[in-house]
């Protein structure tokens, strides 16, 4: 048991009730100023405990917070004049109902002791209080009135007639603490969410940045990367054309996350995945009661993407009737939810994609001409993988690194495996290449992938074009600067125009003879002997 000589008191006795009330009023004014400048929870609580210690003689102030996950009441902050509140709070816990502090939480009522030594349930785990002096503990409550913590302190004078006033003062401080902690928690959570959001944005921009997107150095892909880089900074509608598996959604992501709209939403919808009646509700939203199971109002993809980008994949699959409804939104930037009459304005950038030839669909009357021209502001055509086999080694290594990271190991391809991959025409394009590599990785025990674990379909079209197909009459007049021809065709045309002399073809294409020889080998071009 401790004696009253353990700690010296500051002697904050009062001569009258008016004197203590005036002092409490001035102290509360000071605390209000502290709370108005509050930014961090710990610093604010320590300042409050320091203030009531020095101004009101309420020493060894302690704030205990209840942890519902562990069902424990833990000391969150404590002030001692000796360490000026800079020391970490002691690791002391109470169960609800345990000791005086636990009873305050459990009963949700204040407890005032005229002398601590008269209460056998006082546990004295902190070992700071003078057992011959009073003790005041009050609950800290949430807006619903539930106890979420305990504020406790010890007057620095023996019990006197003003103990009730000190207890009421502590209740007011506890209420101020409750409000401030809730506000600061929301602020800190907001800061945390903002930091996580910024980190996520940096991660996404890094993932879809041009540096990570540029995998491949064929002329066709260089043209694609240049187009994406140019169009990203504007709001123009983009139509991405390409076979399945060529990476149309990747291009849409790159356009959005490198545009001024990068901080807004990027919303995707595969138009072929929904029937027409659901597609309208999905894109435009619906009002409550618009149809069966429409139990509440719902925003559509256009409203969700407001201020950002909407990616419409497989745009060529929508019906002519729905094409007319979509055209109005694209032209006017206005829509009505299904079952609604209110016109809603939206500001959305459209990136559409399809593996169909929309120009042919227009000629056949299957796609509206006015919608086609509305979408076809900026067209980006992704070449199939068979037209850029020279990119296969670099692309395969890039995909294999991603697979290796997911599997937590290192993987590499043998030269024979790379040649085998380049001998396939990849009808499923990059998606098929990635799937083949993942299957090969699963079947590989070590870190080296060889030809024996790579399974390619035997029915694939041959990637090698017979020299009888490309004749001098068909290739000698090709414009080598035409961006619409692929790398293989350009190389064969250069060889045809130079009589299959590799050194001359290299000069014509601005390459070295070694580069020409490498491309002839990797593209499996049969060299003609003239």
* Whether residue 200 has pLDDT greater than 80: no
User: Is there a contact between 423 and 433 (Cβ–Cβ < 8 Å)?
Assistant: no
Looking at residue 1, its pLDDT comes to 36
* Whether residue 16 has pLDDT greater than 90: no
If pLDDT is split at 50, 70 and 90, which confidence band does 139 have?
very high
Of 64, 63, 59, 110, the closest CA to residue 82 belongs to 59
- The C-alpha atoms of residue 429 and residue 55 are separated, in whole angstroms, by 76
Looking at residue 457, its pLDDT comes to 67
* Whether residue 530 has pLDDT greater than 50: no
- The C-alpha atoms of residue 225 and residue 244 are separated, in whole angstroms, by 19
The model's pLDDT over 217-227, given as tens digits with 9 standing for 90+, comes to 788 888 888 89
For residue 120, tell me if it sits in a domain: yes
Residues 48 and 155 both lie in one domain: yes
For residue 115, tell me if it sits in a domain: yes
* Whether residue 58 has pLDDT greater than 80: yes
Parallel, antiparallel or unpaired: strands 135-141 and 111-113: antiparallel
Helix (H) or strand (E) holding 350, with range, is strand 349-354
DSSP characters for 413-476?
E-HHHHHHHHTB--TTHHHHHHHHHHHHHHH-SSSEE-GGG----TTSPBSSPPTTTS-HHHHT
Residues 221 and 253 both lie in one domain: yes
* Whether residue 155 has pLDDT greater than 50: yes
Q: Other C-beta atoms within 10 Å of 463: how many?
A: 17
For residue 203, tell me if it sits in a domain: no
Residues 297 and 407 both lie in one domain: no
Parallel, antiparallel or unpaired: strands 298-299 and 285-286: antiparallel
Range of the domain at 261: 208-381
What is the rounded average pLDDT of the residues 122-143? Answer: 91
Residues 444 and 495 both lie in one domain: no
What is the rounded average pLDDT of the residues 116-139? Answer: 91
User: Is there a contact between 507 and 500 (Cβ–Cβ < 8 Å)?
Assistant: no
Query: Per the confidence metrics, is the pTM higher than 0.85?
Result: no
Residues 406 and 358 both lie in one domain: no
Residues 21 and 166 both lie in one domain: yes
For residue 330, tell me if it sits in a domain: yes
Residues 53 and 146 both lie in one domain: yes
Mean of pLDDT over the chain: 81
Domain finish residue from 334, 360, 381? 381
Q: Domain tally for the chain? A: 4
Residues 37 and 163 both lie in one domain: yes
Residues 499 and 433 both lie in one domain: no
Residues 374 and 391 both lie in one domain: no
Residues 215 and 361 both lie in one domain: yes
For residue 458, tell me if it sits in a domain: no
353: domain CATH number is: 3.40.50.300
The model's pLDDT over 460-506, given as tens digits with 9 standing for 90+, comes to 444 443 333 333 334 556 777 776 677 777 888 888 888 788 888 88
User: Is there a contact between 27 and 55 (Cβ–Cβ < 8 Å)?
Assistant: yes
If pLDDT is split at 50, 70 and 90, which confidence band does 238 have?
very high
168: domain CATH number is: 3.30.450.40
Looking at residue 182, its pLDDT comes to 67
Report the percent of the chain where pLDDT is more than 70. 84
If pLDDT is split at 50, 70 and 90, which confidence band does 137 have?
very high
For residue 7, tell me if it sits in a domain: no
């Amino acid at each position: 048991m401790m004696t009253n000589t353990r700690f010296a008191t500051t002697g904050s006795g009062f001569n009258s009730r008016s004197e203590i009330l005036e002092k409490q009023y001035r102290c509360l004014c000071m605390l209000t100023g502290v709370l108005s400048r509050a930014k961090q929870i710990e610093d604010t609580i320590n300042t409050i405990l320091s203030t009531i210690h020095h101004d009101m003689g309420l020493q060894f102030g302690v704030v205990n917070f209840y942890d519902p996950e562990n069902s424990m009441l833990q000391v969150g902050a404590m002030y001692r004049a000796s360490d000026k509140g800079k020391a970490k709070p002691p690791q002391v816990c109470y169960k609800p109902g345990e000791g005086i502090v636990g009873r305050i939480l459990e009963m949700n009522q204040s407890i005032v002791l005229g002398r601590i030594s008269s209460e056998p349930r006082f546990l004295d785990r902190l070992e700071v209080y003078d057992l011959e002096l009073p003790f005041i503990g009050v609950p800290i409550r949430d807006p619903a009135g539930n106890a979420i913590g305990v504020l406790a302190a010890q007057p620095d004078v023996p019990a006197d007639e003003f103990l009730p006033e000190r207890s009421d003062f502590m209740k007011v401080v506890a209420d101020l603490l409750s409000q401030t902690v809730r506000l600061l928690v929301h602020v800190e959570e907001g800061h945390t969410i903002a930091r996580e959001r910024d980190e996520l944005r940096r991660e996404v921009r890094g993932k879809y940045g041009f540096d990570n997107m540029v995998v491949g150095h064929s002329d066709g892909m260089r043209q694609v990367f240049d187009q994406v880089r140019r169009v990203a900074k504007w709001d123009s509608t983009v139509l991405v054309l390409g076979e399945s598996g060529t990476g149309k959604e990747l291009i849409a992501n790159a356009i959005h996350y490198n545009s001024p709209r990068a901080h807004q939403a990027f919303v995707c919808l595969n138009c072929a995945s929904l029937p027409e009646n659901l597609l309208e509700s999905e894109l435009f939203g619906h009002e409550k009661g618009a149809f069966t199971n429409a139990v509440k109002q719902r925003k559509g993809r256009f409203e969700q993407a407001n201020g950002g980008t909407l990616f419409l994949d497989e745009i060529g699959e929508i019906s002519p009737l729905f094409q007319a409804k979509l055209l109005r939104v694209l032209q006017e930037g206005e829509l009505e939810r299904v079952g609604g009459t209110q016109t809603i304005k939206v500001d959305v950038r459209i990136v559409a994609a399809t593996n169909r030839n929309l120009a042919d669909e227009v000629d056949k009357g299957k796609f509206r001409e006015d919608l086609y021209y509305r979408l076809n502001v900026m067209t980006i055509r992704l070449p199939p993988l068979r037209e850029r086999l020279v990119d296969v080694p670099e692309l395969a290594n890039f995909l294999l690194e991603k697979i290796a990271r997911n599997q937590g190991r290192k993987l590499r391809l043998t030269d024979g495996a790379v040649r085998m991959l380049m001998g396939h025409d990849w009808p499923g394009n990059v998606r098929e290449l990635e799937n083949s590599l993942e299957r090969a990785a699963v079947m590989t025990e070590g870190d080296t992938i060889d030809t024996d674990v790579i399974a390619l379909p035997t029915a694939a079209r041959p990637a090698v074009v017979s020299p009888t197909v490309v004749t001098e009459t068909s290739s000698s007049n090709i414009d080598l600067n035409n961006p619409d021809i692929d790398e293989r065709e350009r190389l064969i045309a250069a060889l045809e125009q130079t009589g299959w002399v590799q050194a001359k073809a290299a000069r014509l294409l601005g390459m070295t003879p070694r580069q020409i020889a490498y491309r002839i080998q990797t593209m499996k071009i049969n060299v003609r002997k003239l």
